[in-house]
């Protein structure tokens, strides 16, 4: 079974700020993004820093805080190190942001690694151990780690987000969120294997059985476990067992769904506050309200998200090297690059992928190696743009050298590989036709109800001529010349 895991590190940027010496030693750090708090160090949060609060409030909450702009922080090196650590657990690593990563953990179903545990709606011990090890690996990059695990991206992200909200965003006087998921908390000391306890998170141990159908919330809030008091990083883990996704999502705010802004606005207008409320509305009604995006909202609200984790780290490259044996002319080089472009494009095409980076490596007879890269404006999977990119790079490299060099080998490579969106125009989709037919049938049913004595039906349908069909698709002037 595949478990999708969302790992989020709090304090990664603040640690990078500290490392780069952007803040004076000892001062609490608040990282701002778009003028609002995005990250901070443990001391800042312990002093009352609130995520999302504006800069002026930070100065009230944490008077000594050093405010650093997100754009000034270079957390890439730390993030790459973290993603490399993730590769030890799974080859499916999809970075989302430097502090967020999605993983796909292919693990057997059963509680002890055997098959059959999935049906019981339980979480295997092996998964718990794997996730805990992952969280511990992430812990060295920040002061708190939130790990959400589920059977889909959406559920994993929602679980991690809920943990973070509970841990960092809880306002004084409010109750912690009721999370119906298996919660693990705290780094595990040697020899401990206890389960079934309910306990506070940071620095403590064990598996909190707050599972679905049982009860419970782990008290791991800021006030109790104490960010400021704990020296060790806080590990917050929530695992949503299979089949319980909708129940888990139901009490969470509707903002946890990854909707585009216009859909989010519409949801607000409809007065929906929780995901469970959205799940009670039928898919047809959602489509009526929101159009095609309604279908996604209906499925997300029930915990259905078929989008897989893309193995995007380390960045993949495809390359083709050709030995030329020392040529000086540009023509044979261009011919070879065209051939390479065609072969690389065919490889990408077969996998349904495209590339956004084209690279050229020229190995000269005198031992020098020249390398050039070019980023394409969007993902391309056909030979022509790759070939054009390679030819441009070749021209740049050779023009820079002046004297035509003797080239021993040439390598064409493509990078930034991702799945190509194959969406086609509505010409191939009969959805509109189906929807029209449904509307006609609905209208006829209403008319039958209103005028029961009358015979009401559709008239004879005249098939459209080819010309009329073409006129519906495009205006005639495009296809003809003027008389």
Partner 1 sequence: MSRIINQPVDVATDPDGRPAAFRFAGMRERVRAVLDAWVETGRWWEQESELIAYRVATESGGLFELNFIPRERRWMLYKAYD
**Residue in 95, 123, 121 with CA at minimum distance from that of residue 107:** 123
Angle (CA) 36-40-41 rounded to 5° is: 165
478 binds partner 1 (CB under 8 A): no
- Residue 44: partners with Cβ closer than 8 Å, 6 or more residues away: 14, 28, 29, 30, 62, 65
Residue 88 DSSP one-character state: T
What's the closest the beta carbon of residue 427 comes to partner 1, in angstroms? Answer: 18
Between residues 428 and 466, which has the closer beta carbon with respect to partner 1? 466
384 binds partner 1 (CB under 8 A): no
Among residues 71, 190, 425, 483, the one that binds partner 1 under rule CB under 8 A: 483
Among residues 100, 332, 467, 469, the one that binds partner 1 under rule CB under 8 A: 467
Rounded to whole angstroms, how far apart are CA atoms 246 and 388?
A: 49
Q: 305 by DSSP, 3-state: which? A: coil
| Count of positions on this chain that bind partner 1 (CB under 8 A) | 11
- Residue 217: partners with Cβ closer than 8 Å, 6 or more residues away: 176, 177, 178, 179, 183, 210
What's the closest the beta carbon of residue 97 comes to partner 1, in angstroms? Answer: 53
What's the closest the beta carbon of residue 463 comes to partner 1, in angstroms? Answer: 11
Among residues 2, 321, 468, 473, the one that binds partner 1 under rule CB under 8 A: 468
Cβ-contact 70, 108 below 8 angstroms: no
CA distances from 223 to 163, 203, 306, 358, 416 (A): 15, 14, 38, 52, 44
**Residue in 20, 25, 29 with CA at minimum distance from that of residue 68:** 29
481 binds partner 1 (CB under 8 A): yes
480 binds partner 1 (CB under 8 A): yes
DSSP 160-197: HHHHHHHHHSPPTTPPPP---SEEEESPPPTT---EEE
Among residues 25, 173, 196, 466, the one that binds partner 1 under rule CB under 8 A: 466
Cβ-contact 168, 51 below 8 angstroms: yes
461 binds partner 1 (CB under 8 A): no
What's the closest the beta carbon of residue 465 comes to partner 1, in angstroms? Answer: 8
307 binds partner 1 (CB under 8 A): no
477 binds partner 1 (CB under 8 A): yes
What's the closest the beta carbon of residue 482 comes to partner 1, in angstroms? Answer: 6
459 binds partner 1 (CB under 8 A): no
Binding mask 417-456 for partner 1 (x = CB under 8 A): ----------------------------------------
Between residues 427 and 483, which has the closer beta carbon with respect to partner 1? 483
Question: Which residues of this protein are in contact with partner 1, per CB under 8 A?
Answer: 465-468, 476-477, 479-483
């Amino acid at each position: 079974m595949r478990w999708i895991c969302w790992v989020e590190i709090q304090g990664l940027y603040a640690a990078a700020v500290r490392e780069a010496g952007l803040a004076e030693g000892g001062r609490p750090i608040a990282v701002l993004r778009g003028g609002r708090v995005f990250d901070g160090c443990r001391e800042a949060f312990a002093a009352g820093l609130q995520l999302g609060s504006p800069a002026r409030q930070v100065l009230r909450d944490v008077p000594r805080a050093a405010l650093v702009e997100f754009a000034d922080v270079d957390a890439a090196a730390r993030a790459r190190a973290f993603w490399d650590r993730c590769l030890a657990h799974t080859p499916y690593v999809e970075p989302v942001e430097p502090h967020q990563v999605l993983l796909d953990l292919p693990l057997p179903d059963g509680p002890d690694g055997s098959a059959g545990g999935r049906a019981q709606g339980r979480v295997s011990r092996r998964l718990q151990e794997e996730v805990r090890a992952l969280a511990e690996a992430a812990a060295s990059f920040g002061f708190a780690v939130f790990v959400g695990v589920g059977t889909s991206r959406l559920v994993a992200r929602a679980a991690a987000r809920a943990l973070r909200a509970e841990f960092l965003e809880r306002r004084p006087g409010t109750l912690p969120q009721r999370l119906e998921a298996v919660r693990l908390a705290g780094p595990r000391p040697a020899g401990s294997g206890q389960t079934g306890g309910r306990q506070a998170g940071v620095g403590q141990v064990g598996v909190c059985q707050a599972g679905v159908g049982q009860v419970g919330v782990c008290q791991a809030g800021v006030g109790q476990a104490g960010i400021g008091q704990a020296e060790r990083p806080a590990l917050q883990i929530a695992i949503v067992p299979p089949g319980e996704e909708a129940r888990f999502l139901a009490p969470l705010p509707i903002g946890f769904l990854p909707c585009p802004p216009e859909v989010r606005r519409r949801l607000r207008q409809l007065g929906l506050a929780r995901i469970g409320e959205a799940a009670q509305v039928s898919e047809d009604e959602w489509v009526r309200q929101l159009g095609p995006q309604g279908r996604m909202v209906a499925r997300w609200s029930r915990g259905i998200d078929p989008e897989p984790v893309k193995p995007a780290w380390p960045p993949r490259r495809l390359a083709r090297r050709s030995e030329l044996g020392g040529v000086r002319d540009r023509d044979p080089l261009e011919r070879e690059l065209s051939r390479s472009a065609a072969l690389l494009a065919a490889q990408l095409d077969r996998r349904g992928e495209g590339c956004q980076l084209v690279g050229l490596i020229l190995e000269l007879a005198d031992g020098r190696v020249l390398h050039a890269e070019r980023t394409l404006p969007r993902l391309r999977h056909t030979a022509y743009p790759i070939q054009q990119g390679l030819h441009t790079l070749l021209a740049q490299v050779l023009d820079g050298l002046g004297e035509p060099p003797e080239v021993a080998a040439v390598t064409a490579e493509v990078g930034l590989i991702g799945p190509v969106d194959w969406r086609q125009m509505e010409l191939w989709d009969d959805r509109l036709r189906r929807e029209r037919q449904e509307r006609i049938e609905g209208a006829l049913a209403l008319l039958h109800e209103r005028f029961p004595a009358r015979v009401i039906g559709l008239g004879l349908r005249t098939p459209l001529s080819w010309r009329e069909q073409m006129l519906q698709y495009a205006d005639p002037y495009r296809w003809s010349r003027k008389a």
